[in-house]
Chains A and B, each alone.
Chain A
Amino acid sequence: MKIVACYKLVPEDRDINVNSDLTLDLSKATWKVGDYDLTAIEMAMRIGEAQEGAEVVLLTYGGDVVTDQKLKKGVYARGPQMGYAVRDNEAFCSDSFGTARVLAAAIDKIGDVDLVVCGEGSGDIYSQQVAPILATLMKRPVVNAVKEASAEGGQLTVKRDLEDAVEVATLPLPAVVSTTSEACKPRIPGMKDILAAGKKEQVVWEIGEVLSDQSALRKEVVNTLSPAQKERARTIFEGIDSLDSFVDALRKVM
């Protein structure tokens, strides 16, 4: 059984600065693997480990950062045996349709993939749409909100964590799933995993090797601006001893 776990490298929120015109400055941001993707990789590992002879491989789509060695070691230390990266300078501006198209083509190129596992959403834009779009492009069944999954005899059984209920469902393989954000805690790599990660193979494809027709932006970003923050009074009372003064002030604003 071959399982592909997808991940996206995103800029660290805390390093994003706001320019005076309220646009965002991402130039000082360090990159990291999206938190939700680590959960997806862990789920892929658990499904794979429960199956005799299963293989878990990684797949990412991004700019030059995809081959950054430290990032690569950090994510490969989470268990998968090897992985793929599609490198494209325009990846950062890609929307979920464009990304799904690239991933679908890459998965096709990888070949014989039984299951694709995606995170709940990307760490930066969080549209939560790549999994369903990808699955439809590949004509495979798809479910989201997966908190548990196991494969047996060409079928995947999942537990979906919905708003009002937990649904148990089956779907035939090959399939695509996306996980919930809290489905499982990613394993913490130890030194052995980290040392091994550096030696694992990462196959890098330039975008042209995966897709001949590259432009697939369906959504246009008009602007991305920091919301104007309302000025607040910031009257702070320190310690439980100032409770009475706090309550007085509270009565006045209520």
Chain B
Amino acid sequence: MDFSITDEQELLLESLEEWIEGCGFDQRYFDEHWEKAQFPAEYYKALFESPFGKVGLPEEYGGTELDFLTMVLLDEKFAELGRPSLTTTMLNIEDIMMFGSEEQKKAIADKVEEGRLPFALGFTEPQAGSDSNGYACTATRKNGKVYINGHKSFITNASDTDLMLTMTRDFSVEPPVNAMSLWMVPLNAPGVKIEPMHKIGQRMLSMCEVYLDNVEIEESDLVGEEGKGFFMLMKNFEIERVLIAATALGGAKRAYNEAVNYANERIQFGKPIGQFQLIQRMIVEMTAKIKACEAFLYATAWKYDQKESIRIDSALVKYFVTRLANEIADDCVQIMGGIGYTEDSISAKVWRDLRTARIGGGTDEILIHAASRPILKEFAKNKR
């Protein structure tokens, strides 16, 4: 087994560091936007225009197609450097490019050209978080128009963009999994009400309640085939899980770098605290966890590139890495001591930002459910 990363991957990561160093947005810019819960639009515009913006987007749309392992390495590096990436946005855009009409593709491509976030994903509802049978948002046809009614919740970036890819359900179709459709809903249309929610972390990306009261849209706003909404979505589930794991690991490394440096510098009782065994235990455990996460994460991405199924592994790796990343961030805050509980510490921010990784994109509990059945089934089929 060759566990090394290629020259090209190393150079790409070095290139990314070079870009972030010189992009003109320093830590202060991100701290301010985080504080005020403001979307860093100027940074995103610069990122769109950089060689790292359109990663994963097909070449015909100005993108660079990359193997999944390289994308994972990139996303991890962005997080390690404390900067948002566009990979998930690109994934979502790729969906439209695959299923959307020519008009829809053009509208999205134009937004990307302007360096703006094209759309938010409008799936989750108050009664439909993990339980996808709970979707209640509807699309009703009347007089040649379509009317959207419902209440979407926890919608990331709803107040940072103009469009929402909205999931609706047709109650006349059973089972629910065949009743879902996707519509591109303009968020400035009459009947749309957006209320930001107050997150304790990841504050640069808005998260909102979106109320849709008889919002009028066109038939042509349907994305892809009616009734196939869920299947279009599922395509990305697995990749999304792995990318969340990559970002979580990068964030954990960022906190880890701060904490271990601190252990070498902070003097108490006449020596650096890194010389005390209880601190050393935390450092050693964090280091081992990071290495284990790297190995599992990269192996899963590699499997995907080999065109092998990562149905179970994607659930396992997200479950494993996000939990360990949170543990690492917690130990980092502990090592940082008093400072670790203030805004001045990187570990503190990472600790807050990472907590969502165990919830969004599939909660720990759903992932356990998703992974356990196939594992047990596999053993039932082939007793070892």
Contacts and interface: CB of A to CB of B under 8 A. Distances in A.
Contacts of A69: 7
A190 B52 contact: yes
A142 to B, nearest CB: 30
A172 interface: no
Contacts of B70: 191
Interface in A67-123: 69-70, 73-74, 77
A188 B11 CA distance: 11
B7 A189 contact: no
B12 interface: yes
B7 A77 contact: no
A192 B50 CA distance: 12
B18 A188 contact: yes
A198 B51 CA distance: 18
Interface string A184-210: 010011111111011000000000000
A191 B51 contact: yes
B237 interface: no
B64 interface: yes
A74 B64 contact: no
Given A191-B64, A191-B66, A70 B51 contact: no
Interface residues of B, number: 17
B11 A189 contact: yes
Contacts of B8: 73, 191, 194-195, 198
Contacts of B11: 70, 73-74, 77, 189, 194, 197
Contacts of A185: 22
A189 B51 contact: yes
A188 B10 contact: no
A249 B53 CA distance: 52
Interface range for A: 10 to 19
Nearest to A190: B51
B14 interface: yes
B281 to A, nearest CB: 29
Contacts of B7: 69-70, 73, 198
Most A-side CB within 10 Å, residue of B7, B22, B55: B7
B19 interface: yes
A195 B52 CA distance: 14
Interface in B55-114: 55, 64, 66, 70
B69 to A, nearest CB: 13
A191 B8 CA distance: 8
B220 interface: no
**Interface of chain A, main secondary structure:** helix
Contacts of B66: 191
A191 B10 contact: no
B15 interface: yes
B97 to A, nearest CB: 19
Contacts of A195: 8
A234 to B, nearest CB: 14
B64 A188 contact: no
Contacts of A197: 11
Interface string B1-37: 0000001101110110011001000000000000000
A3 to B, nearest CB: 23
B64 A192 contact: yes
A113 to B, nearest CB: 28
Contacts of A189: 11-12, 15, 51
B86 to A, nearest CB: 13
Contacts of B22: 185, 188
Contact of B19 (A70, A74, A188, A194): A188
Contacts of A193: 51
Contacts of A190: 12, 15, 50-52, 64
A194 B19 CA distance: 14
Interface of A: 69-70, 73-74, 77, 185, 188-195, 197-198
Interface of B: 7-8, 10-12, 14-15, 18-19, 22, 50-52, 55, 64, 66, 70
Instruction: List the 5 closest A-B pairs by CB distance, nearest first.
Output: A190-B51, A70-B7, A191-B64, A188-B19, A194-B11
11 contacts: A73-B11, A77-B11, A188-B50, A189-B15, A190-B12, A191-B8, A191-B12, A192-B51, A194-B8, A198-B7, A198-B8
